[in-house]
Amino acid sequence: MERYEQQFKKGILEMLVLKLISQKTAYGYDLILRLKDVGGGLFDLKEGTLYPVLYRLEDEGLIASRKEAVQSGGREKKLYDITGEGLKVVQGLKEYWDDFSRCVSGVMDAKEEKA
Amino acid sequence: MTTDDYITAVMREIKLTKAAKARVREDLESDIATRLEHGMPMDEIVAEMGTPADVAQSIAENLPPDMAQKGSPIRFVYIACALVPFFVVAWVAVSLVSDFNANPGYYNYSTAGQYIMHGIRSLGAYWNIRLAFNLLAHMAVCVMGYRLFRNKWSAGDIRLLYMAIACGIIWLLEHPLIFGFDFLRTGYVFMTVIEIIRGLLQPQCVLALITTIFLFTVYARGQLTSPAKQAAEK
């Protein structure tokens, strides 16, 4: 069961991260908190899982990173913005997801047929 | 533990290309700075993010293979070193054949023939067997060095250390095995310091010493683990 759950999560994590960044410019920790908040405990991520997702999206040109100085401590924050291409992909994924979830629900909710 | 200590520890554990490491470092700095801004103490941050080893392992598992570290180019030096003896042997063989052709009848029998004629304690046999021992140990050192630098330090395997110890034993035993244990008295006990230094400065000894120093450095840092332990950790 755990293997299936992990596969589901892995499959849709990029879509969720992309959607969250499309709603608001975000940094890593912010994404972790928002996923935790909206995920109802299903997406309790750690940095080690999130960073590779961000790097894949950035390498595909769907998001872009920039740095911003932190008020104290002399360190910089790394912020992620959605790109024009990313917005198109989010829109496409949303439409696909609607069809996909409808189809899956149709199969999973179907009543058993007696032979 | 400070932010720098934590990030340095993650960087030490992680096996990624330089560019990928720089990205991870930026994100870690950013996320730790954000938590600190929220008033979270460092201990709590470490507890939430996980140990440096956990973070490194998790990132490495989820990243595409092209971001993974391919190993140090030093490994190619070991491949070259492993090939050198073959060229030397080929050169000696060609020289012997050309000498024999130039002076037919001068050689009564080959070096291998001397071994058969005069037994294991003959000078010819000594050099044959010593050459075999040296080649064996040299090849083992090359394999060790190659494996050590193929995946950088943290992918160390404790079997490399066992191999190094075996190499040392092979080298130490080659003389007693050929000449009997009397050699221990004459060969080792009465060796002068200069003789020892001269022996250690032979190219294959220098390579073995450097490799051993690298190996023990990795071992001292606790980065050599057995395959069973690696599997258990996964």
Classify burial at B11, counting beta carbons within 10 Å of its beta carbon; exposed 0-12, middle 13-18, buried 19 or more: middle
Name the residue with higher pLDDT: B196 or A78.
A78
Q: Are strands A63-69 and A26-27 parallel, antiparallel or unpaired?
A: unpaired
* Residues of chain A found within 8 Å of residue B27, distances taken between Cβ atoms: 28, 47, 51, 54, 78
Q: How confident is the model at residue A62 (pLDDT cuts 50, 70, 90)?
A: very high
Tokens of residue B104, six digits: 């037919």
Which DSSP symbol is given to A101?
H
Q: What is the pLDDT of residues B91-133, one digit of tens each?
A: 777 776 676 666 665 555 555 445 444 544 555 556 666 677 7
To the nearest whole Å, the CA of A75 is away from the closest chain B CA by 7
- Which of A30, A55, A59, A66 would you mutate first to test chain B, the one with the most B CBs within 10 A? A55
Whether residue B68 contacts residue B17, with contact meaning beta carbons closer than 8 Å, is answered with: yes
Whether residue A81 contacts residue A58, with contact meaning beta carbons closer than 8 Å, is answered with: no
How far apart are the C-alpha atoms of B183 and B189, rounded to whole Å? 9
How large is the angle between the packed helices B158-179 and B123-150, nearest 10 degrees? Answer: 170
Distances (CA, A) of B125 to B92, B132, B178: 17, 10, 9
Beta bridge partners of B225: B157
* Residues of chain B found within 8 Å of residue A27, distances taken between Cβ atoms: 30-31, 34
Whether residue B151 contacts residue B69, with contact meaning beta carbons closer than 8 Å, is answered with: yes
Residues of B at the A interface, defined by Cβ within 8 angstroms: 3, 20, 23-24, 26-31, 33-37, 49-50, 54-59, 61-64, 67
Q: Which helix (H) or strand (E) holds B224?
A: strand B224-225
What predicted TM-score, i.e. pTM, was given to this entire model?
0.58
Q: Among B125, B94, B95, B97, which Cα is nearest to B111's?
A: B125
Q: What angle do CA B79, B82, B86 make, to 5 degrees?
A: 130
Given an 8 Å threshold on Cβ–Cβ distance, is A47 in contact with B31? yes
How far apart are the C-alpha atoms of B12 and B49, rounded to whole Å? 16
How far apart are the C-alpha atoms of B52 and B46, rounded to whole Å? 8
Q: What is the biggest distance separating any 2 CA atoms in chain A, rounded to whole angstroms?
A: 71
Amino acid letter, A46: K
Q: What angle do CA B119, B122, B125 make, to 5 degrees?
A: 80
Given an 8 Å threshold on Cβ–Cβ distance, is B30 in contact with A28? yes
Given an 8 Å threshold on Cβ–Cβ distance, is B34 in contact with A76? no
* pLDDT for residue B190 is more than 80: no
Q: How confident is the model at residue A91 (pLDDT cuts 50, 70, 90)?
A: very high
Whether residue B224 contacts residue B158, with contact meaning beta carbons closer than 8 Å, is answered with: yes
In chain B the first and final C-alpha atoms are separated, in Å, by: 26
Whether residue A18 contacts residue A82, with contact meaning beta carbons closer than 8 Å, is answered with: yes
| The pLDDT of residue B115 | 47
How far apart are the C-alpha atoms of A77 and B34, rounded to whole Å? 7
Whether residue A22 contacts residue A90, with contact meaning beta carbons closer than 8 Å, is answered with: yes
Q: What is the mean pLDDT of residues B215-219?
A: 78
Whether residue A69 contacts residue A79, with contact meaning beta carbons closer than 8 Å, is answered with: no
Name the residue with higher pLDDT: A98 or B168.
A98
To the nearest whole Å, the CA of B233 is away from the closest chain A CA by 16
Given an 8 Å threshold on Cβ–Cβ distance, is A49 in contact with B58? yes
Whether residue B166 contacts residue B173, with contact meaning beta carbons closer than 8 Å, is answered with: no
* Residues of chain A found within 8 Å of residue B53, distances taken between Cβ atoms: none
Q: What is the pLDDT of residues A24-50, one digit of tens each?
A: 999 889 999 998 888 777 888 888 889
Under DSSP, is residue B228 helix (H, G, I), strand (E, B) or coil?
helix
Given an 8 Å threshold on Cβ–Cβ distance, is B62 in contact with A30? no
